[in-house]
Structure formats: C-alpha cells, structure tokens
Amino acid sequence: MTLVLREADVRRVLTVPECVTWLEEAFRAYAGGQARNIPRARVKHPGGTLHVLPAADLAADAIGLKAYTSGRSGTRFSVLLYRASTGELLALIEADYLGQVRTGAASGVATKYLAREDARRLGVYGSGRQATSQVAAVAAVRSLEAITVWSRNAEHRERFAQELTRELSVPARPASAPEEAAHGQDVIVTITTARDPVLQGEWLEPGVHVNAAGSNSLLRRELDDAAVQRANLIVVDSRQQARIEAGDLLGPAERGIVEWDQLAELADVVAGTGRRRTSPDEITLFESQGLGLEDVAVAMRVYERARAEGIGQELDLFAEVKPRPGRQ
C-alpha cells in the first residue's frame, strides 16, 4: 500500500527544528558515502518547465525523487518515495511545504556550523513564503535577539516583520533601506527571486555569515562580485550542482573570482572533514541550491511519522510484484 500525504498532512508532522536535525543526519550520511545525489534536471515544455531531483539516503533506506512543474499556471511539487532495499513505493507526497522547510533547514545547518556562536542579529532579504522557514531555521540554531527585514515592497516587509515578531517572539523590524538589513548583522539570509544583486559586498561586516538561498538559476543573482570576493570561506551543498545553476557564483567563476575546487561542501563541513570558520572576523558564505537528497531524506522521516500517527490516505496503486523466474 502506498501512503498519499497532502499538504495539510505534511504540515501536521514536519517542523523546522526537527528538519534541521534530519538534514544534519543526511549530510553526514552523504559525507560517509551512504547517500547519493544527482543534480537537478530541467525539461522545457509548452506550459513551462519540469524539474526533477533524484537522490538516495541509504542510511535511511530511502530512494526517490522530487518533481515539480513551473509555468504560467503556477508551481506544483511532489515527492515519490521508495524503500531502497525493496523498491516498494512507500509514499506520494505533496511537497510545497516540505520544500520550503527543507530549504530553510539547510540554511539552519549551515548557520549552525559556520556562524559565530554568539550570533544574535539576523538580516533578511526577501519576505515571501520561503523566507519564513529560513528565519525559523536560523532561530533554531542561534538565540536571536533582533531581526531586520528588507524587501522591495514596503507593505510586504512591514507585514512580514510583524509576523516574525508574533511567531518567533523575537523583535523584528522592516528596514527603510536595503543596506540596513546588512549593517550590524551577525547572520544574513537572502531568499529572493532577484535577477540583479540585492546584497552588496561593501555592506558586509567582519564576522558575518551569509546564507544565499534564492539564486538557483543562471538568470538569478542575489550577491554582487564584491560580496562573493569578500567571503573567506564559501560552502555549497553540492559543487557539481553549483557549477550548473549557482547564479551567484557562475559569473564570478568566469571572471576568476571563484575557483570551483576551492569551495567546501556542506556535507564535509558537517562531518568535520571540511573547513569551518577559523576566526571571529571571517566572512562565511553558504550558497544553497537545494538537493534532491534533502527532499528524499525529509520525505522518509515525514512518511515514518505519518504512518506512526495514522495520517494520510492509503492506496493500492499496483498489483503485487512477483519475482521474475530464472532461466530454464
């Protein structure tokens, strides 16, 4: 039987702090050779684009893929989750909220290992749906005391600041100019769909950690060359995937500002084999592209919890699979 989980089901069993822990485990498995990830593939079609992210978390006995379509009619996300040891289709999961949370949780993991231990002030660029989980994940690993929000729409950033204050019990205020979300901050998050940089390198102060999570396309860019150049340490979730779609890094790499082989991978940072922050004054940068491994690892934990709590709808989708007879 295959378990079908819809958005409301996922929201009942998935929290940001637990997702940070789950992704730590998945990245540690990845560093130890117990996980696989294949970069996102995109297929253009008349209505938009199909995006597919396959992966396996063998430590969790999970294999599967996230697939989503984007176009004029909107974006639709789903995860197909299989048990790796048997090939059994365990679940079909509606995955919009799952994707938002796992993207934020990846930034939470990066913040845990790269930001200063005394980081208390957060600057946020962006006020859309993805921004909430980004802030919640940073709050899960650091005791925040103040949040400053910038987005192009004054009404949106005002409302978002009010929501953060209410939901996280941390004072949040809208910035009156974009540089205010960078000046005096310990951690900065960029989570926008910007085509031109929203964060300037001249605004970065010594010791800041930056999570750049919005630029996963050549057409998108959140950081200017100076911001990339000022980073003493750049960490990516996957070098292979970053070389395909990290809009913040592709241009700087062509101009000789970035050397791909010098980038650290988050899995190695988590496992302790990759370089971490070495001084309070270093500027660290995490470039998040979003991996299928993150989706599959979180989907397995969501599935297991939903099963235990009796959540979701069971469907008998396929006839019983019988062993193939050997040659006579």
Q: Going residue by residue through the chain (328 aa), what tens digit of pLDDT does each one get?
A: 999 999 999 999 999 999 999 999 999 999 999 999 999 999 999 999 999 999 999 999 999 999 999 999 899 999 999 999 999 999 999 999 999 999 999 999 999 999 999 999 999 999 998 999 999 999 999 999 999 999 999 999 999 999 999 999 999 999 999 999 999 999 999 999 999 999 999 999 999 999 999 987 777 899 999 999 999 999 999 999 999 999 999 999 999 999 999 999 999 999 999 999 999 999 999 999 999 999 999 999 999 999 999 999 999 987 665 665 554 4
Q: Are 157 and 231 contained in the same domain?
A: yes
Q: Are 251 and 155 contained in the same domain?
A: yes
Q: Are 33 and 49 contained in the same domain?
A: yes
Q: Are 301 and 250 contained in the same domain?
A: no
Q: Is 12 left (phi over 0), alpha (psi -120 to 50) or beta?
A: alpha
- Identify whether 328 is part of a domain: no
Q: Are 207 and 279 contained in the same domain?
A: yes
Quick one: pLDDT at residue 322?
60
DSSP 3-state of 321: coil
Global pTM reads 0.94
Domain CATH for 47: 3.30.1780.10
Distance CA 135, CA 150 (A): 13
- Identify whether 105 is part of a domain: no
Q: Are 15 and 40 contained in the same domain?
A: yes
Q: Are 175 and 62 contained in the same domain?
A: no
- Identify whether 44 is part of a domain: yes
- Identify whether 235 is part of a domain: yes
Q: Are 243 and 165 contained in the same domain?
A: yes
Domain CATH for 159: 3.40.50.720
Count of domains for the chain: 2
Q: Are 195 and 238 contained in the same domain?
A: yes
Q: Are 163 and 143 contained in the same domain?
A: yes
Q: Are 32 and 119 contained in the same domain?
A: no
Distance CA 200, CA 14 (A): 34
82-86 — which CB contacts under 8 Å span 24+ positions?
A: 84/56, 84/57, 84/58, 85/61
Q: Are 279 and 168 contained in the same domain?
A: yes
Range of the domain at 74: 2-99+292-315
Residue for token pair 């019990």: 169
